[in-house]
Each structure stands twice: as structure tokens, then as C-alpha cells.
Amino acid sequence: MKKISIFVLCLFLSASLWSQKRALTFEDMFAAGRLSSPTVSPDGKWVVFAVKTPDIAANTYQTHLYAADLQGQSLLKLTEGKGNHSHPRFMRSGLLTFVSSRDGDPQLFALDLKNSGQVKALTTVAGGVSDFIWSSDEKNIAFAKDVDPRAESFAAAVAMEKEAAASNIKAKLLTGLMFRVWDSWRDGLRSHVFLHQPGTSEFTDLTPGEFDTPPLDLGGSQDYLFSGDGNWFAFVKNTDPVVAISTNNDVYLRDLRSGHEKNVSSANLGGDANPVFSPKSRYLAYLSMRRPGFEADKKDIILYNLKTGAGQNLTAAFPDTIASFVFSADEKTIYFIASQSIYEPIFKLHIASKKIEKIVAVINANSLRLTPDGKSLVYLAQTVAMPQEIFKYDLRRRRQTQLTRFNSEVFKDVQMNRAEIFRFQGAKDEMVEGMLLKPPFFDANKKYPLVFLVHGGPQGAWTDDFHYRWNHSLFASPGYVVAAINFHGSTGYGQAFTDSISGDWGGAPFVDLVKGQQYLVENFPFIDRDKIVAAGASYGGFMLNWMAGHSDEFKYPFRCLVSHDGIFDSRSMYYATEELWFEEWEYGGVPWESALYEKWNPANYVDKFKIPMLVVHGENDYRVPVTQGLMLFTALQRR
């Protein structure tokens, strides 16, 4: 009888604890601190990182710097007050430098972790400093700034910028393509990298001309840097005459002793970016895509010998695309992150043998760093139930430790579930994978409505991450099952699978979604087949528009559709977007020559539209211009 009493008490306590939890709200999700930019101190004791937090009422963000010790025992806030504080960089002395707008324009500041209350301003650059790096001797910084390429000096560029801002003339004169990119107009400006000694008025343009460094798109995490020995400066630019139809970013190497400059990736007409010098300055490595015009080709690690000039592909035999990498201290090993399934695992590459082993498997990692002693990796990681936090991996003990729990207080009373993987036979009788998330307080005996998500890219993937626009846990919180299929064209399943969508936008991916929806309803009895909605953005928006015209091919009807920034008219999209290389690759050429623009055009099937649809579109979206959303809305209203 006593044992029964204890058992009943345990059940009561468990149910009581469960009842104290609640579902995720928008305010919960948005209140989370967004960690980024981890950097390890030279003594290997601290990792400093930036945290961006929102003020929903004021519609603003503020970013501060924090330090966590590598034993996971303490957390320090390093910056206070107004402004934003970001881009932390340690100097060899241990002094922390960073960008802050505490006094107005963002400038470079410094502080000592032992006395973080004393902050010293280092620069007074007109217009401010954004991201920056130190030169090898730590006497100068390099930073990128948008300038008029006709300016003969930094001072002249600043004067021209002020004159343009003060002018009453707001007309834009267009003389070439890529006149606007993503969400902003270029106005004839170019991104150049300037060398500057803090405390002086001297500026040197390291990348002059009618080119952009970093490149306008398809760049890496850092596309300009100095070698540790001070002999080399590497940077990325695209010198093709029409950048709008070119992915041919190249890695350039300048010998700072002789001034000689060389394009080390000239033999490759695909995209090259993300140069990284090895610690002893023997090598330069970078990420390379082989096929010109294709922005989603497999990224390989190319190793370039600075002494001999010889290059080699270290990952040609590896099936998946590389996201980022770091060298080991002895230059014998490279650690890298790659896409696989719904994860971003960490791998170890032995340079001499090219042998690769996965060392951290079930994880969604990014921002990989190596501690100065070479014994541990430090990185950010996340899941659908956890925003990014900082982790450490002991390479000798093969043990992972979570160093921060920055958002644990925000989510301590929130119930969120982990992602589950499901698989089914999709198009071409090939295995297709998806991700399923159950709602909080899930009861297998109940029926739940289904949110059917379609990702963008299209060469992208749903992964186990805490996304702030397409947050799976927030979709699930009102009591929905969330399903997200990585259809043909997704990344993380080999390059052939990724390639399969090009020229086939409404083909195999659509078949995957049709079959996937049927599989879900017929294999998960808790899904209510009469309450299914679908949503997608960018390519996902295109697919929602395509589904609206082909809804009869789904076995189970959708109650409504949500199209966010989606392509409605494939032909007019070409004439309004900025990255023409993308359209020309995906549709097999230009609209006046390729029939694919009409074959895969949702606008041709408006007469079949019959499902209620919510249209969401941003007016500053220049990738998929707002006219696509307006045309879709007009079509729906007339139907």
C-alpha cells in the first residue's frame, strides 16, 4: 500500500509540473537573446559574443557583448548603456576591441576584460566603422565601406556621400544592372576595403576600382584578411563585366612585400569566397563552387600553398557542401561544418590523407572557432526548441559541454517538443525526408490540424533550428502538428539531389509534396485530414502559388494557403529581380529563349485557383519584387 501511495504521488507531481508549463508565445520567441560572433580570448579562458535583444514596443533591437568562461561557470556582461556593441575582436595582448555606437556613429572601442567598466575610443572615422579586422602587426585596421568609386581619397568619398545626402535631387540614373540588391539601392556605390591607423587621418583604399569587396552576394563569412606573418592580404571580388549574370567571385592574393597581386582562383569560373590563412601562414584555403552561374553548387575546400602556388581540392570525394571551416594550430587538420539531413554536423579533415570523420553528429552548429591551445572547438548550436547557445567540444575526450544557457530563464515555463524525422518514397521512387514537430502537451489520442511548410531557396532545407521568421515551435504552439519536407532540390542529401530541382520547379518537388502530404495523413493518426493548411516563402511562395493552381492533385484538401514573398509570374519576375544568374540557371536561359518560364508559371493556372490564400509581401524585397505579390492578390480578388 505504501508503494502504491508513492507511485500515485509521483504521477500527481508529474502532472502538476506539466500543468505549470505553457505554450510558446510570439513574445516569448521574440524576447530570446540572439547570440552571434563568438571569439575566444588569447589565453583560452573566455569566449566573448554578441547578444541582440528586441524591444517590441519600440520596434528596435539593442546588441551588447558578454563573456562566458570556457569552464561554463560564469557569465559577464561587458557593455552597458545606449547604442549597439558588436563585432568583438581580441588583440594578442588580450585587449578586446569592438564596434560601438554608444556615442553616435559606430566606432572602434577597446576594453580589458579585467576591468570592463573602462572603455576607450580608438577611432573617429567619418560615417563610422562596421565590421573590421586588425592587420598582422596590430597597428592598423581594415574595414569595408560603400563609397563612390570615382573618389580619389577617403575624405573625398565622405564629402561626396554628404553632398548626395543633402541634395534635393532624388532621381536615380541607371547605367547598368545590379542597381539594387536584396533590400537596398546601390546608387552607384561600391564596397571598398580601407586600411586605417587608429588615431590618424590616414586611409588607404586596398580594393580600388569598379568592384565590390566583399562581393555583393555569394560571399563568405570574412572576405578580406591578412596572413599571420604580415606578408599577404587576401580578398574577394567579381570582375566580370556584368555581375548580375555572374557568380564568378574570385579570391585575390596580394603580396604586401612586393605589391604583386594574383587571382588564385582564376581557373575556376564558379564562385570562390571565404579565404582563410593557416596559423603559420603556409596555406590559404577557401570555399569553391565549380559550375559558373550556379549559386547552389557544392562548396569544396581548396588548399593553396603560398610557397609553391599549387592548389588542391581537399573535399572532392565528400558528398555534401561545406558551410565553414577552421585550421588546427599545427596546420595538419581542418575542422568544418557541412549540411547533412536536418543537421549541420562538425567534421575533422586530415589534410595529408584527405580522410574525413564526423566528430559531432546530431547538431546544428555554426560559427566554428578553435581555442588557442588547439584542444577544443567552440561554436554556436541550436534546435527547434532552443535558440543559439555556445558549446565547447573537447577534441581529446570527445565530449561536448554547453557553456551558456542565456535564454533558459525566458523559456523555463515554456513547453516545446523536439523535431522528429520521417521518410517516405517521393518522386522518382527516391527516399525523401521531412521534419515533424508535435504541439505542446501532445496527446496521441487526439486529432490535430496540420501546418504543411514549404521551404525557400529552393536549394535550401528545413533544419533543426530556432528560426525567427519560420519558427516551427511557434507554429506548433496553438495546437498544430508541423510538417516540413525537404523535397528534391534541398541541401544536405548530396549534390545530385540538390541539382534535381533546376529546370523542374513544379515537377519532382511538387510530387514530393503531394506524396508527403498523403504519407503524413495516412501514417500519423493524430493528424486531422480535414484541417490542413500550407505556407511557404520565396520559392516556398512560388510553390504555394503553384499548388493553388494544382490543388486537385493532393489527396487531402487544404483549407487555406499562405504565400509569402512568392513568385507569381515567372516571366515578369526575370525582368524585375536583380540576380539574373539565378533565373537563367534555374529556367535554362533567358525568357525569350527558354520555354521553362511558361512551363513553370503559376500565373498560367489562375483559372484553377479556388483555395483561400493569405498573401504576405515586403515592399523592400528586391529579390522577389512586391509586384509579384500585388499581381497574385489581384488574381485572387478577380477569382
Q: What is the pLDDT of residues 405-416, one digit of tens each?
A: 999 999 999 999
Residue 586: exposure state from Cβ atoms within 10 A (0-12, 13-18, ≥19): buried
pLDDT tens-place string over residues 205-215: 999 999 999 99
Q: Looking at this protein, which amino acid is placed at residue 330?
A: D
pLDDT at 12 over 70: no
Predicted local confidence at residue 13, as pLDDT: 44
Mean pLDDT of the region 232-259: 98
At 230, is the secondary structure helix, strand, or coil?
coil
321 and 309 Cβ atoms separated by less than 8 Å: no
Predicted local confidence at residue 115, as pLDDT: 84
**C-alpha span between 366 and 9 (Å, rounded):** 44
567 and 577 Cβ atoms separated by less than 8 Å: no
Predicted local confidence at residue 19, as pLDDT: 60
pLDDT at 286 over 50: yes
pLDDT tens-place string over residues 141-180: 999 999 999 999 999 999 999 999 999 999 999 999 999 9
At 617, is the secondary structure helix, strand, or coil?
coil
Helix, strand, coil % (nearest 5) of the chain?
Answer: 20, 35, 45
pLDDT tens-place string over residues 81-135: 999 999 999 999 999 999 999 999 999 999 999 887 789 999 999 999 988 999 9
pLDDT tens-place string over residues 55-94: 999 999 999 999 999 998 999 999 999 999 999 999 999 9
Residue 503: exposure state from Cβ atoms within 10 A (0-12, 13-18, ≥19): middle
Predicted local confidence at residue 11, as pLDDT: 41
Mean pLDDT of the chain: 96
Split at pLDDT 50, 70, 90, the class of 307 is very high
Return the C-alpha cell found at 120. 576607450
pLDDT at 250 over 70: yes
Split at pLDDT 50, 70, 90, the class of 607 is very high
Question: To the nearest whole percent, how much of the chain has pLDDT over 70?
Answer: 97
Return the C-alpha cell found at 523. 501514417
Q: How many CA atoms lie within 13 A of 445 on its CB side?
A: 0
**C-alpha span between 193 and 225 (Å, rounded):** 10
Whether the ω angle into residue 214 lies within 30 degrees of 0, i.e. cis, is yes
Split at pLDDT 50, 70, 90, the class of 306 is very high
DSSP letter, residue 293: T
pTM score over 0.85: yes
Predicted local confidence at residue 10, as pLDDT: 45
Mean pLDDT of the region 459-465: 98
506 and 426 Cβ atoms separated by less than 8 Å: no
pLDDT tens-place string over residues 476-489: 999 999 999 999 99
Predicted local confidence at residue 139, as pLDDT: 97
Mean pLDDT of the region 243-260: 98
Domains and CATH numbers, the chain: 20-128+373-414 (2.40.128), 131-168+175-313 (no CATH), 417-638 (3.40.50.1820)
Predicted local confidence at residue 117, as pLDDT: 79
Split at pLDDT 50, 70, 90, the class of 18 is low
pLDDT at 6 over 60: no
Q: Looking at this protein, which amino acid is placed at residue 229?
A: D
